[in-house]
Amino acid sequence: MSHTVLVVDDEPKLCDLLVSALSSDSVQVLSAGNGLQALALLDKEAVDLVISDWRMPGMDGPQLLAEIKLRFPQIPVIVMTAYSTVKNAVQSMRNGAFDYIAKPFDIDELDITVHKALQFRDIVRDNARLRAELDEHQQFDNLVGDSAAFKRVLQAVDSVRESNATILLTGESGTGKEMVARAIHKHGNRAAQPFVAVNCAAIPEGLLESEMFGHRKGAFTGALSDRIGRFQQADKGTLFLDEIGDMPLALQAKILRALQERVIEPVGDGRERKVDVRVIAATHRNLLDAVANKEFREDLYYRLNVFPIPLPALRERAEDIAPLARHFAHSLGLAAGKRITGFSAQALQSMANYPWPGNIRELQNCVERATIVAKGSTIEAGDLPGYLLDRPADSDLPVSGVPEDLDGALALAEKNWILAALQQTNGVQAAAAQLLGVSERSLWYRLKKLQIQVDKIAR
């Protein structure tokens, strides 16, 4: 690999000596008489290494080093000085120099230092190239899809991932909100720090404050030891508050204070603790409706809604069903010890015709089942759950596309979606309600209205 080295010194004879000594078939050596000339060359030439004198008129070595670190941070700098003191050497290294050489120097010693610096430059360049290729070919982990609706999501993720802004992910249950949150964290400026996820709907109200902020020993019955909360666990990283729309009003005020002031107070402890977290919240609820119904604080809503990202339902990105299914089949097949190469045309058509009320989560469950029962390397229509195949054909619909009995058609569609969700969850109504994005009470009412019987398995 060829390299370009820039020598900066106000002594022309020394510049000529270094140009002659370091030049080779693979190394081109340029020279500049002062710092300003060096910067002008760096703006025009692709330089791999700078060797600079410490003391020069006008812009001296330390000033040039500072400018290079600011404007060309990937270029290593070797500092030369005839005033070789520990102070100068240490200061140059602290300011970002790769190494230093004391005048008068041995050419062989300089050659070894230059060789090490150019090796370092090659490693930095290769790492940057590999990282760019990885980002290009594996964009945002498992965020699969090429539809216009999903491209807007990817563009939003790319825009906000390096920011510390609070993000609000909205969309139906199963649309991949946690997956998007993890992608934002992994590809952002806090990737090396913790990602902590909390499902606000899954923790009993009485324990939620302790879960979020921690508690001191003896703060309440059962508090047998001190415990740090999720905010402190996520310090310097990302805190993902899933289903925040279901958070009790009493706790919302404390969450608002934590977001505004970046301080928390553990239960039973009067001392405040500072936290540095980037918060990503998610909900399947319409928070503006919840605000209007006094079920969600308006000030907390606006604090969360700094950068909203709405996630489309799977039926709104139907062209992504096939690539998502193939992605799941490949990864789940590997986990099951099977090599799944794809789907039959009939299987893909059946999946395309289904409305997917459980969205991506339901599709993944469907493909997992099909992967298990598939006898060959291709998933056939018969390997899919039965409810995907029982949908009416297009020929059974009115020619105009408008049903003769709207109420009856809506009831049938609602019943089919509920049956599908119950089938997916083995008849567990709480899980089916979550899959459908409704409350358990709402699902119970619909089961009664539509006369759907539920045992262990929906029927």
Helices (H) and strands (E) in the chain, counts: 19, 16
CATH topology for 3-134 is Rossmann fold (3.40.50)
CATH topology for 394-459 is Arc Repressor Mutant, subunit A (1.10.10)
Helices in 205-315 by DSSP H: which ranges?
205-213, 230-233, 249-261, 287-292, 298-304
One digit per residue, pLDDT tens: the chain, 459 residues? 689 999 999 899 999 999 999 998 889 999 999 999 999 999 888 899 999 988 888 888 888 998 998 888 889 999 887 755 656 667 777 788 898 888 888 888 888 999 999 998 888 877 766 655 555 444 455 688 889 999 999 999 999 999 999 999 999 999 999 999 999 999 999 999 999 999 998 888 888 888 899 888 887 877 778 888 999 999 999 999 999 999 999 899 999 999 999 999 898 887 888 999 999 999 999 999 999 999 999 999 999 999 999 999 999 999 999 999 999 998 888 877 888 888 999 999 999 989 998 999 999 999 999 999 998 899 999 999 888 876 544 444 444 445 566 666 677 777 878 887 787 777 788 888 877 777 777 788 788 888 887 764 433
Question: Tokens in use for 380?
Answer: 């056939």
What is the CATH class of 315-391?
Answer: mainly alpha
- Torsion angle defined by CA atoms of residues 267, 269, 275 and 280, in that order, rounded to the nearest 10 degrees: 10
- Please give the backbone phi and psi of residue 250, each rounded to the nearest 5 degrees, phi first: -60, -35
Does this chain's domain 315-391 share its CATH topology with 394-459?
Answer: no
Which string of DSSP letters, residue by residue, matches 326-382?
HHHHHHHHHHTT----EE-HHHHHHHHHS--TTHHHHHHHHHHHHHHH-SSSEE-GG
Q: Give the integer Cα–Cα distance in Å for 92 and 233.
A: 38
Q: Give the integer Cα–Cα distance in Å for 74 and 214.
A: 43
The model scores a pTM over 0.75: no
Q: What angle do CA 396, 399, 404 make, to 5 degrees?
A: 75
Q: Decide: helix, strand or coil at residue 51.
A: strand
For residue 282, which of 162, 177, 360 has the smallest C-alpha distance?
177
Number of other CB atoms surrounding residue 396 within 10 Å:
7
Q: Give the integer Cα–Cα distance in Å for 149 and 171.
A: 13
Query: Where in the chain are the domains?
Result: 3-134, 148-310, 315-391, 394-459
Question: Tokens in use for 105?
Answer: 């120097």
CA 202 to chain CA centroid, nearest Å? 23
| Strand-strand pairing, 307-310 and 342-343 | unpaired
Helices in 105-226 by DSSP H: which ranges?
107-137, 148-160, 177-186, 205-213
Indicate the DSSP class of residue 365: H
CA 27 to chain CA centroid, nearest Å? 41
- Please give the backbone phi and psi of residue 364, each rounded to the nearest 5 degrees, phi first: -65, -45
Under 8 Å CB-to-CB from 40, ≥6 apart: which residues?
Answer: 32
Instruction: Tell me which of 3.30.420.40, 3.10.580.10, 3.90.550.10, 3.40.50.300 is the CATH number of domain 148-310.
Output: 3.40.50.300
> How many residues in total does the chain contain?
459
329 touches 371 (CB < 8 A): yes
